[in-house]
Amino acid sequence: MVYGVFTSIETAIIGGWFVVISYYFLLFIYFLAFRYKESRNPFHLGFGLFFLLLGFGTAFFLAYDYYQLDILWWRLGTAVSWSAIFTVFLALTYQILEKPKLWQVLILSSPPLIVAILVLALPLFFYPVPTPPIGYVASNYVILPIYVIVLPLLFFYIGRQLTGRLRLSNFLIGGGFLVYYSGRVLQSSQVVAFLNLVAPLLGSFMAPVLVFVALIFIVVGFLLQKQE
């Protein structure tokens, strides 16, 4: 691929990611201007910031993947994406524990923020080119899977304690996060390279589709909560 010169399929893939980024920013506005404004619940503020950071992170990765192969874009995208995980777990910590102690907040929420800071401060320990260093392996194959599994499980756990629409809403949000991270996994270079053996650009094309579907699940889940 020549950076800045795209085939029709690559143009469609980029367009798909622009749709996803636009939806991220719409969700940020929705949570900040409507949900948080009405409830003053830090949980809604945290989710609004989560989607805002995901929007910027995805934009940085898009610039890196298709416009300029520069470590700066990768560093920014990685750090902002980890900050988004920190934000959503911080919101969930206060939502579930109500008045958590500092040590509880640090244990549950701080590792993604630490990774984000280290990526900016020590990028060569995380940059996966030409071969993944120890920082990349530890963050992406140890820390990240823990959070990817725990996040939907938290919503499934909350849903089991509830009934009716609230149960369904939490199950939808949890399922949405499972689908979301499945889409992000398809975005990784290793998975994309494998899927390209089956069909060229299959992984690249499916990633924004899955992410968009996941966002719809999450939004429907939150809308059901509001109706209650």
The amino acid present at 60, given as its one-letter code, is: F
Q: Which residues contact 100 (CB under 8 A, 6 or more apart)?
A: 93, 94, 108
Please compute the mean of the pLDDT values over residues 90-119 and round it to a whole number. 83
Residue 172, exposed/middle/buried by CB under 10 A (0-12, 13-18, 19+)?
A: buried
Q: How is residue 2 annotated by DSSP?
A: -
pLDDT at position 110, please? 87
Distance of CA 102 to the CA centre of its chain: 25
pLDDT at position 40, please? 84
In CATH terms, the fold of domain 8-227 is Rhopdopsin 7-helix transmembrane proteins (1.20.1070)
pLDDT (tens digit per residue) in 54-98:
999 999 998 888 887 788 898 999 999 999 999 998 888 877 777
SS3 per residue for 159-216: HHCCCHHHHHHHHHHHHHHHHHHHHHHHHCHHHHHHHHHHCCCHHHHHHHHHHHHHHH
Domain borders along the chain are: 8-227
pLDDT at position 21, please? 95
Q: Could you give the CA distance from residue 40 to residue 225 in angstroms, rounded to a whole number?
A: 15
Most confidently predicted of 35-44, 157-166, 207-216: 207-216
pLDDT range class, residue 49, cuts 50, 70, 90: very high
pLDDT (tens digit per residue) in 184-220:
777 666 666 676 677 666 767 788 888 999 999 999 9
pLDDT at position 215, please? 93
Q: Could you give the CA distance from residue 13 to residue 88 in angstroms, rounded to a whole number?
A: 27
Using the predicted structure, report yes or no on whether residue 168 has a pLDDT greater than 70.
yes
Q: Could you give the CA distance from residue 135 to residue 119 in angstroms, rounded to a whole number?
A: 9
